[in-house]
Amino acid sequence: MHDLPQQLANGLILGALYGLVAIGYTMVYGIVQLINFAHGEIVMVGGFGALTAYLALPGGTTLWLALPLMLIAGILVSTLTAVAAERFAYRPLRTAPRLAPLITAIGLSIALQQLVFAFYPDAKKARVFPKIPGDPFELGSVAIQRSDLFLIIAAPLCMIALGWFVTRTRSGRAMQATSQDPDTAKLMGIDTDRIIVMAFAIGAAFAAVAAVAYGLRSGQVDFRMGFLLGLKAFTAAVLGGIGNIYGAMLGGITLGLAEALATGYIQHLPGMHLFGGGAWKDVWAFVLLIVVLLVRPQGLLGERVADRA
């Protein structure tokens, strides 16, 4: 119990990372009913875009000064990749059977991995990502790494900004209308193609923020980093209720807490010493998903954000 506050803090931080990525899945699905399995690679290219910006800066540039430029570069690369994917890979298949865009998304995921692997310098090994130097902050018995500060600040700010955009702006209301009934929205004069591109772009921007947070936490980026992170984020989106942006963040935090607590405590339960530790954290995350879907198949919140606004 002495370690419980630390485990909860670790879970909340990890969950915020999953939630930022999960929003990209849930926004696209909420509007075009497409599970974009290439979204994990959108995160990956954003991480490499941020790293490229950092490496291009003059030597001696402080990380706090470089961080805004890294964010801009990561968001730009991720957004351009996502918009190009929507325009050239998904839009021509919008009226096709659902299996076609799903297979296309998987193929695009593999293609993006291989493009970075083949053409980015030294991408065959993990590239070192800058970390915020200094000792962790101590809050009672909880230690928070300085590299986690970016995620602690960015995740709530992103959610507040997205909530305001969806509920308070003209484009946000058009997004809600397109999510509820795209055909009727088009008859009412809404450019649904523009709204769909906007959904991809917003999800990609959140993915880039998550990529920078991931790089700061782990100290590296890798061309394979998007696969597992994307899989976890998709799990978080389903857990919270895919199609609901608030559910995506709730699912991410729930998943992060489940991983942290399972890593710290499962092995101490009677007869469970073989099933704890970091090697089993992914297993328990999916066990949680199965349990939630058995009890509540629509997820924790269960409806699209358009139905709640």
Q: Closest Cα to residue 221, out of 121, 84, 79?
A: 121
pLDDT at 306: 45
Q: Return the beta strands (E) in 79-207 as ranges.
A: 127-128, 137-139, 142-144
pLDDT 10s digits, 242-282:
888 889 999 999 999 988 888 777 766 665 666 666 667 77
Q: What is the pLDDT of residue 195?
A: 95
Query: Token digits for 248?
Result: 């995506």
Instruction: Using 70 as the pLDDT threshold, list the residues of the chain that sit under it.
Output: 1-2, 267-279, 303-309
Rounded CA separation 183/164 (Å)? 25
Cα–Cα dist 222/116, whole Å: 9
pLDDT at 54: 95
> In this predicted structure, what is the pLDDT of residue 303?
55
Query: Which residues touch 66 (CB under 8 Å, ≥6 apart)?
Result: 53, 54, 57, 130
pLDDT at 173: 93
Residue located via tokens 């299996």 = 99
CB of 126 within 8 A of CB of 222? Answer: yes
Cα end-to-end span (Å), the chain: 40
**In the prediction, which pLDDT does 279 show?**
67
Q: What is the reported pLDDT for 269? A: 65
What is the per-residue pLDDT for 286?
81
